[in-house]
Amino acid sequence: MAKIDQLLQFMIKAGASDLHLSSNCLPKLRIDGDMHSVSAESSEELTSEQVQGLLEEIVPGQNKEEFTTTHDTDFAYAIDGFGRFRVNVFDDLHGIGAVFRYIPQKILTLEQLNMPPVLKDFCALNKGLVLVTGPTGSGKSTTLAAMVDHVNQQRRDHIITIEDPIEFVHQNNKCLINQREVRTNTDSFQKALRAALRQDPDIIMVGELRDLETTEIAIETAETGHLVFGTLHTSTAASTIDRIIDQFPVEGQAQIRTMLASSLKGVVCQNLLKRIDKGRVAAMEILIVNMAVASNIRDGKTYQIPSSIQTGKRLGMQLLNSHLIELVKNKIVAPEEAYLKAVDKDDIVAKLRAAGFAIRVEE
Q: Which of the residue ranges 43-57, 116-130, 215-229, 285-299 would you say has the lowest mean pLDDT?
A: 43-57
Same domain, 46 and 146: no
pLDDT, position 321: 96
Same domain, 265 and 155: yes
> Stretch 118-135: mean pLDDT, rounded?
97
Same domain, 175 and 295: yes
> Stretch 191-199: mean pLDDT, rounded?
95
Residue 363 lies in a domain: no
> Stretch 31-42: mean pLDDT, rounded?
80
Same domain, 132 and 258: yes
Residue 191 lies in a domain: yes
Residue 135 lies in a domain: yes
Report angle CA 90, 92, 93 to the nearest 5 degrees: 165
- The pLDDT mean for the chain works out to 94
Q: Which tens digit of pLDDT belongs to each residue from 82-98?
A: 889 999 999 999 999 99
Query: How many domains in the chain?
Result: 2
Is a pLDDT exceeding 70 seen at residue 43?
Answer: no
Buried b (16+ CB within 10 A) or exposed e, 323-357: bbbebbeeebbbbebbbebbbeeebbbebbeeeeb
Which of 269, 268, 276, 270 is CA-nearest to residue 337? 276
Same domain, 154 and 25: no
Same domain, 144 and 280: yes
Q: Which tens digit of pLDDT belongs to each residue from 252-281?
A: 999 999 999 999 999 999 999 999 998 999
- The rounded distance, in Å, linking the Cα atoms of 344 and 350 is 10
Is a pLDDT exceeding 70 seen at residue 350?
Answer: yes
Q: Tell me the whole-structure pTM to 2 decimals.
A: 0.91
pLDDT, position 40: 55
Same domain, 62 and 143: no
Residues of the domain holding 18:
4-103
**Of 70, 103, 136, the domain-final residue:** 103
